[in-house]
Structure 1
Amino acid sequence: MKKLGLLFLVATVFACTTPQTEVPTQSLNEVLACANLAGLQAKYGKENVVADTSWVIGTDTLQGSIIFPNSAKQVYVYYRAGEIVDVTIQGKSSAWKTDSGLYLGLPLQDVQQLNAKNFTLSGFNWAHGGEVVSWEGGKLAGIHLATFSNAGNQHEGLSDAEYTQISGQTEFDVRHEAIQKLNPSLDMISLIKPFIPNQEEGKSISKRISANQIPLAK
């Protein structure tokens, strides 16, 4: 499932959390492996699962659950035809990490090392700022979505002019001098199960992608 900026609707939940100082120990991959709501409830307890939640994004309504709501273990879970297709954490810190080594607060340069390749980001300072556009075939390609420190457009260590260089509705190689100087940290991580959409889903995805395309320069 490709989603862009989906969790800006709920980003305030972690707004006042403490920055990550230790590597978390809970595996986010295990949440994805639960397969469905029954699996979540069996593994984490019914009392820790908000079972039926929905988010309206444009013309789409996404069904999901939240496990361990309003805590450091909070995870957003999304379904397709009743099966888990996406698990997401967002904020400054979390009790979860991916088996690949990603966790909230991890700096960009460390993510480069985990990916074992450079990758491409969207420009900062807009609704979809700081999102990984492509892992460029690195080790994180396939099931990882991620965003780097776009909340509040903080750019400590960069002048406004430098930040402007890496802002806006365009794409940047992470080797850009200003991005390396900023070295932003992860504030959203998703693990996804790729799927082949049916005809109606394909049309919906196509419309959503078209609506989010960066306009060509005149």
Structure 2
Amino acid sequence: MKNFLYSLVLLAVFSCQSSQSENQEVLVPNLILNDVLACKDLAGLQAQYGKESLVADTTWILNEDTLRGSILYPNTNKQVFIMYHQGQILDVSVLGKQSLWKTNSGLYLGLKVLDVEKLNQKNFTISGFDWVNGGMVVSWEGGKLGGDNLTHVVQFSNAENQHEGLSDMEYGQISGEAEFDIRHPLIQKLNPSIDQLALVKPYVPSKSEGQSMGKHITKSQMPKIKKKH
């Protein structure tokens, strides 16, 4: 659960980034995102990809939070966001409509939810759409993409909040701060695609880190409706 909360923070940052242009050729992913995670630290990244390919130390600002990390191949179709914990690479992420990166498990930007279900070899659960953490995988439900050694963090069609093929009323039925099995007929009909993808090394945060993450998640959630007496 703590790993999931940490990942929510990271992906919420990236949701503020603009998506890639509509008018671009279709990319065939041929680079392995796991290899970036395997570099272990900044020195490993520089040795593997070259110092000139990295913005080694930069920040992303979200509300009152400032998160620090690196960007590999910035402003290209090979761009990767890299986050650290105690100097070790913890999270590598890509976002947008497409990228040259894919995971060893077969995930890549633009992949449809029905294809992800095949890779997972099981149905899974996502959050409702149309909010900051919309379309995010909540649980792989024991499928192939779950596991304790590496976390696949995936978010579907949240950056632009498009719902082609569904009416606004239908889209509202699978939106909001709720959880949905991807076998829901309207999710199957929408068949959303991955627009944010991360590989995260699980870790147990300190008490102060956990409190900070909890406060951030609370801020990002939809406001609760007060009951009238």
> Structure 2 length normalisation: TM-score?
0.87
- Number of the residue aligned with 2:97: 92
Aligned residues: 216
1:166 aligns with 2:170: no
Taking structure 1 as reference, are residues 80 and 58 closer, same or farther at Cα in structure 2, changes over 3 Å only? farther
Aligned-residue offset at 1:216:
5.9
Residue correspondence of structure 1 range 1-218 to structure 2 within 5 A = 1=3, 2-4=6-8, 5-10=12-17, 12=18, 14-16=20-22, 18=24, 20=26, 22=28, 24-142=29-147, 143-212=151-220, 218=227
Q: Which runs of 4+ in 1 moved over 4 A?
A: 212-218
Mapped partners of 1:120, 1:103: distance in 2 = 18
- Name whichever of 148-157 and 76-85 sits farther off: 148-157
**Alignment RMSD (CA, Å):** 1.9
Q: In 1, are the aligned partners of 2:91 and 2:200 still within 8 Å (CA)?
A: yes
Q: Which has the higher contact order (CA 8 A, sep 6+)?
A: 2
Aligned-residue offset at 1:195:
0.7
Percent identical pairs in the alignment equals 56
Taking structure 1 as reference, are residues 77 and 17 closer, same or farther at Cα in structure 2, changes over 3 Å only? farther
Aligned-residue offset at 1:167:
1.3
Uncovered stretches (5+) of structure 2, i.e. residues with no partner: none
> Structure 1 length normalisation: TM-score?
0.91
